[in-house]
Amino acid sequence: MKKTPAANSLFFILAMTSLSAPSYALYTLRDIGSLGCSSVGYGINNKGQIIADSTTSCTAGAPTHGVTTAIGSNKLIDLGSLLGKGGTSSGRGINDSGQVTGESVAMPFQYSHAIMTKKNSLQLIDLGTLYGGANSSGYGINTKGQVSGSSTTTKGRYGASMHAFITSANNTLSMIDLGTLGGQNSYGTEINKSGQITGYSQLLGNRLDPQKNAIVHAFITDVSTNKMTDIGTLGGYSSQGYGLNDKGQVAGYSDIRDFTFQHAFVTHPTTRKMIDLGTLGGNNSKAYGINSKGDTTGTAARADNKMVAFVALQNHMYDLQKLLVKGSGTGWLLQMGRSINDIGQIVGTGTYNGQLRAFVASPAKLNIEQPSHGVIRSTPVGINCGPSCVEHFTGADSPSITLSAVAEKGYIFSGWGGVCKGTVATCIVKMDTDKTVSAKFTIKR
């Protein structure tokens, strides 16, 4: 449960115990829109701000720009590029201050450099490269403004290489080379508030699988030394880490045997061992985002092997499309979830009437209008709203919430408002869409 002073709402996420689709809805869907025709979603912070890519017009060959949003607004903000409107840029990560990272072409028709925005500003900063390499990309940014990513370097063990990096925490923004797990290349994909990074790296000897693909393993770095630790696999040759929360849990995907199929995984919060999240009935799945509760999102194959967006709650995987409020997903095919915040909002990409578009899926919301002279409490436990109480509630194991109105001394409960009716002090609310509840208390006579 997370308390927030700025909003009077409760977000309800159901962690189901069955893999069958529920008969009630859970998420509302919003089209992020675009600057032109198409958009691709990459990240969402705990304030609901997004980071995405968008075409700048529907004209063939039009540049792509990173886009973001302000707090409380759905209007897209064009991040531009290091070369102005004519250049290209990509947005990949966003922190809770609204700072973003990604990449932008640094010289006309040549190299791309990792970028970030200044705090409280959308001015782009060129982060450069490692040891004078040609290209770099930023993927994650934490609350300290540290960026994780990858850069070409001329000083690898095998000569020219791609290495994961982290930027320093002392405001110099200098890149620190994280090395590899012994092989030629490594890639940093996400960073948490402690400065741990996940990603994937080639192994010593640059080993190849039987199909001549480079074997890579997911890693996590040590907070103090930045040393990579190999997370291993689910039994196959390779794995890749993409999501990382502040507890050090990694989400990603791994070969499950030889190199035939890949499954999404999340690491256990204490043992750090991989947990296979399975699929939606098909062969493959990939996880990309994870929040502080360990809930994940990504893409998974249904029984027909079509890849669709999923959300995994308490390590149970569900087809996100089947959890939408009725009518919310009309015209949509949700293909991939990319990031999930602590409220449970998911940003990702799908097709809307055949056009590639980014989306935000938000859990059904229960608005509690603040009562005077009493409180509203809940079963399962999580709501206790009086005149100055605002709470977010997640992780319930039932599609319904039982609310109880409790009067303070000298007052009595006199009736419900909103979706609750009557004068009985308890009310059952089925969370199948956004709903509002109020309670009235009067002086006891």
Q: Do the beta carbons of residue 362 and residue 427 sit within 8 Å? A: no
Q: Is the pLDDT assigned to residue 2 strictly greater than 60? A: no
Q: How far apart are CA 82 and CA 79, in angstroms?
A: 9
Q: Taking the model in full, what pTM does it have?
A: 0.87
What are the chain's domains?
27-362 (2.130.10.10), 366-443 (no CATH)
Helix (H) or strand (E) run with residue 391 in it:
strand 391-392
Mean pLDDT for 123-140 is 94
Q: Which of 194-203, 309-318, 428-437 has the lowest mean pLDDT?
A: 428-437
Q: Is the pLDDT assigned to residue 160 strictly greater than 90? A: no
Q: How far apart are CA 371 and CA 418, in angstroms?
A: 13
Binning pLDDT at 50, 70 and 90, where does residue 434 land? confident
Q: Is the pLDDT assigned to residue 269 strictly greater than 60? A: yes
More confident residue, 430 or 48: 48
Q: How far apart are the first and last CA of the chain?
A: 37
Torsion angles phi and psi, residue 382, rounded to 5: 165, -30
Q: Do the beta carbons of residue 149 and residue 165 sit within 8 Å? A: yes
Mean pLDDT for 128-137 is 92
Rounded to the nearest angstrom, the gap between the alpha carbon of residue 92 and the centroid of all alpha carbons in its chain is: 11
100 Cβ contact list (under 8 Å, min separation 6): 43, 51, 66, 68, 79, 91, 92, 93, 94, 116, 117, 141
Q: Do the beta carbons of residue 389 and residue 377 sit within 8 Å? A: no
Q: Do the beta carbons of residue 236 and residue 254 sit within 8 Å? A: yes
pLDDT of amino acid 381: 61
Q: How far apart are CA 89 and CA 266, in angstroms?
A: 30
pLDDT of amino acid 385: 66
The torsion region of residue 123 among left (phi > 0), alpha (psi -120 to 50) and beta comes to beta
pLDDT of amino acid 84: 83
Report the chain's mean pLDDT, rounded to a whole number. 88
pLDDT of amino acid 108: 64
Q: Is the pLDDT assigned to residue 339 strictly greater than 90? A: yes
Task: Please identify which residue in the block is written with the tokens 């409180």.
Answer: 375
CB count within 10 Å of CB 227 equals 12
Q: Which residues of 338-366 are buried (b: 16+ CB within 10 A; e: fewer)?
A: bbbbbbbbbbbbbebeeeebbbbbbbbbb
